[in-house]
Amino acid sequence: MSEKHLINYEHILNEDIGLLKKALDASVSGIIITDNRQPDNPIIYCNQAFERITGYQRPEIIGHNCRFLQKDDRNQQPRQQLREAIDQGETCVVEIRNYKKNGTLFWNELYVSPIKNNEGKVDYFIGVQNDITRRKQAEEDLRTNQSRLEQRIEERTQSLRQSEEYLASIVQTVRESLLVLSPDLKVLSVNDHFIRTFKVSREETEGKTLYELGNGQWDIRELKNLLEQILPTNNPVIDFEVSHDFPHIGKKLMLLNAHRIELEGQYKDRILIAIEDITERRAIEQRKDDFLSIASHELKTPLTTIKGYIQIINRLMPNTADEKLLSAVGKTALYVERLNNLIGELLDVSRIQSGKIELHKDPFDFDEMAAEAVDSIRQATKSHEIVVSGGTGCRVNGDESHIAQVVTNLLSNAIKYSPDHDRVEVHLSVVSDYLKFSVKDFGLGIARDEQERIFDRFYRVGEIQQHFPGMGIGLYICAEIIRNHNGTLWVDSELNKGSTFSFTLPLDQTEGVADGR
């Protein structure tokens, strides 16, 4: 084939691929493709409908196994059917409960089909999903016995009447300022805590729009846009901060949350706003951050001096020195180094909190960096075998020392929290247009309800903090470093079975993929 024909063929092929992608994105069905050749069968492609149905963005989807859509609802029979079909490389159709990013349940009619290579081996799976929540709801409604309908209506009426009285008592006693708004954002009612907090009367509040209250403290364009979207989209306003000089109470920092009231009848299409005064809490947090910053800097200088003296002692130590003296100096150097690392982490936390974390981005070989980190950990511990598989062939434009810090921390944790096992697995791969790095251990594992919080500052898992020392800042620093590289860090874990920590980095900040994309 001549070069001209080859160029024409490539042009037609690119047009066909582009047309195929447009067709997939135009589909009303959610479509994903998973890579069966990689561990845990990660998602490598999703169309726009899949993002719209699930509420997740593409960076939050790529690299994950499809099970993340079931969240805590893992004991479903359809999951066993899916597992058997995937293990046998067969087509299957299931109806399964999934959950959107905001936690909303939706029923998913899922078609899964294998994509085989020329040798008949399954390389990929394609999944097509449709939201059948309305159909399932209709089926449920049809199963309702007509003869019990009137009784249910009567019971419902009574229940609502009791609920109204019950909720009214709760609203008046809750220790947060609460407002109920109409669809046009007029204040229908407020609780006593709101009246006391803002030192106003009901006559000054009820019947007015939210933006007319006080001296216009809630008349904020961004807040207005969010509130106006609650009823049509059912998207709540979460943790919106308002710093303002309020009438009667002065300068305060308020935390606002707003949700649609999910009731029928006269309470339909109303908005509940909860307002919390976090002025003192934020001040305490700031004082704590200031203390950490000052303490870390003040400790760094004398510690550096101590470290220098220990190095001098080691150089001047005669060969005939007593073994106890050598051991004491060695242990002192070890503990000084540990303290130095701890202070370094506290300084990192301080920089992150103040927004002053410095990233010096330059292209570097990701695989080489990972190999060096693994070799360093291997030299430091002989208790575990570290098995590395895969590769990326990528040069990443990032801060090599910070990314290496993340890799080292994940490896150290995998060894630290699997004391009764001797194997840690590392896997590197390219998933769609993302680089993926994973560390898997077979140790203690993390309970489902604690997995989201382990990346919070100073948070430690209850079971772990009783047996292992630490301050709970390592994973927080890792998550912030990856986030500052436009990546995502997450964990998949089961108690007593181990954990897999993974992060992805977008390939648009990398150069050259040796094994293709």
pLDDT at 381: 84
Helix (H) or strand (E) holding 271: strand 271-277
Mean residue pLDDT of the chain comes to 84
Q: What is the fold, at CATH topology level, of the domain defined by 25-139?
A: Beta-Lactamase (3.30.450)
| Fold agreement between 25-139 and 168-277 | yes
**Is the confidence at residue 435, as pLDDT, over 90?**
yes
Confidence of residue 400 (pLDDT cuts 50, 70, 90): very high
Class of domain 282-354 (CATH, top level) = mainly alpha
Contacts of 423 (CB under 8 A, 6+ apart): 384, 385, 387, 442
DSSP 8-state assignment for residue 209: B
pLDDT at 141: 81
**Residue 396, SS3 per DSSP:** strand
pLDDT at 379: 86
pLDDT at 512: 44
Q: Count Cβ atoms below 10 Å from residue 147 Cβ, excluding itself.
A: 7
Mean pLDDT, to the nearest integer, of 399-407? 91
Mean pLDDT, to the nearest integer, of 223-247? 92
Strand bridging mode 423-431 / 385-390: parallel
**Is the confidence at residue 143, as pLDDT, over 50?**
yes
**Is the confidence at residue 342, as pLDDT, over 90?**
no
pLDDT tens column, 276-324: 999 988 887 777 766 666 666 566 667 677 778 788 887 888 877 788 8
**Residue 44, SS3 per DSSP:** strand
Q: Count Cβ atoms below 10 Å from residue 470 Cβ, excluding itself.
A: 13
- CB of 310 closer than 8 Å to CB of 328: no
Contacts of 419 (CB under 8 A, 6+ apart): 443
CATH number assigned to the domain covering 362-513:
3.30.565.10
**Is the confidence at residue 481, as pLDDT, over 50?**
yes
Domain map (residue ranges) of the chain: 25-139, 168-277, 282-354, 362-513
**Is the confidence at residue 438, as pLDDT, over 60?**
yes
pLDDT at 152: 74
Confidence of residue 123 (pLDDT cuts 50, 70, 90): very high
Nearest residue to 360 via CA among 401, 332, 326, 323: 401
- CB of 176 closer than 8 Å to CB of 197: no
| Lookup: tokens for 26 | 């135009």
- Answer yes or no: pTM beyond 0.75: no
CATH number assigned to the domain covering 168-277:
3.30.450.20
pLDDT at 415: 93
- 115-119, 174-178, 226-230, 389-393: segment of lowest average pLDDT: 174-178
pLDDT more than 90, % of the chain: 50
Confidence of residue 266 (pLDDT cuts 50, 70, 90): low
pLDDT at 352: 63
Query: What's the CA gap between 336 and 319, in Å, rounded?
Result: 23
- 32-36, 287-291, 478-482: segment of lowest average pLDDT: 287-291
**Residue 89, SS3 per DSSP:** coil
